[in-house]
Amino acid sequence: MRSLSAAIVLLLAGCASSMGPVSEAPDPRGTLTFTADTPIHIAVVTAGSPPGLAAVGSEQEAGAEQALTDSGTDLPIVLETFQDGCDAESAAAIADSIAAAGDIIAVVGHTCSTACEAAAPIYEAVNITMISPSCGASTLVDTINYVDSFTRTIHDDQLEGTLAASFAFSELGARTALLIDDGTVNTVHFTQAFSTQFRSVNGSVVVAPTFDDDEDWYTQMLAFVQDGQVGVIYAPLLPDSSALLLEQLQAAQVDVPLIAHHMARSEWMGDQAAGYPLYATGPYLEQDRFASASYWASYDATALLLNALGEVAQQRGDSIHVGQQALRDAITSTSSYQGATGLLTCTPQGDCSASQLAVARLNDSGWQVVFIPR
């Protein structure tokens, strides 16, 4: 699905003031040319289903639009929205359509690490830079497996898993943890890091079978938590799976604290989990203003991209030229950029996340930060 955000087409007049110096050297990855009639297109790719992921996708789209509005850029920019299903097949199909369009210079997205893994090589083949607000899989930015096209503003999944374990042990007093993941790259790096950290302080872990929405799985899971030994559940699942799990725990009158990851910190999840002791790791957000981690990570991804575009775009007469390697380099060389989620500094492998993480708890008034590691 492809749609234009028509309200956010910005006019060309006066754009020279926001652009970098003119360079005659050819860009090694090629240069795209834009005019007022053929503006700069940025794709915003989010998950469109199921409902919990669609809510995350809506927050990410809104964050991107707000960042463009707040930027005040004079560049002629159009945001185009696309939706995938958080799976590799649909992500690849969307990436193929973006690659074939010919007028899209960059992508804000995708939502899920499975989608980013599938899409990144496709964008790389046509020199499109992507910046994801939520793909935190460690393999996406490690020195061996990373793809040049990929960058992100969300923390590494392993950092969140480590924080969750430290919080569970030191703040919740848990000594035995039940770990639940879905067996995909969307969740396994979280649980692996949690297990390593929790065991390092002499905690015990119980690993549940891979999450499955069926009666037999729930029976096995409840047997673990109803014997009184488990002090915390760590389940960094995607939102809809988290909601199904919480429904079963509440129906069984279980009140063992559950720690989820950054996607859980949203109004949608708050509605699903009302009354349950639910925690979420993620970027440190000021409580009064920043409620949704997905919204503000997308805001930062878009703002970072727009800042880089302003640095490298060159005006020649009535046209604007953007070197694709120059754009990638401008993003990865970012240092101490003040974003909504904190100071953003990018690595050569594309990890641009802020340095500060936190744990928030769901209460009657929403999400409240309860732990900031020092």
pLDDT in tens, 75-91: 999 999 999 999 999 99
What pLDDT is recorded for position 16?
33
| pTM score of the predicted model | 0.91
Phi, psi of 267 (to 5 degrees): -65, -40
Is residue 36 within 8 Å of residue 11, measured between CB atoms? Answer: yes
Confidence of residue 183 (pLDDT cuts 50, 70, 90): very high
Residue 262's contacts (CB-CB under 8 Å, 6 or more residues apart) are: 134, 136, 154, 155, 160, 280, 281, 282, 283, 293, 294, 297
Q: Do domains 2-154+292-344 and 157-288+357-371 have the same CATH topology?
A: yes
Give residue 13's pLDDT. Answer: 32
Domain boundaries, the chain: 2-154+292-344, 157-288+357-371
- Cα 322 to Cα 313: distance, rounded to the nearest angstrom: 5
More confident call, 72 vs 8: 72
The count of other CB atoms within 10 Å of the CB of residue 113 is 26
pLDDT of residue 355: 83
Convert the pLDDT of each residue in 85-126 to its tens digit: 999 999 999 999 999 999 999 999 999 999 999 999 999 999
What average pLDDT does this structure show over 288-293?
Answer: 64
Give the pLDDT confidence of 2-49 residue by residue, as tens digits.
554 433 333 323 333 345 555 567 899 999 999 878 899 999 999 999
Span 157-288+357-371: which CATH code? Answer: 3.40.50.2300
Q: Which CATH architecture has domain 2-154+292-344?
A: 3-Layer(aba) Sandwich (3.40)
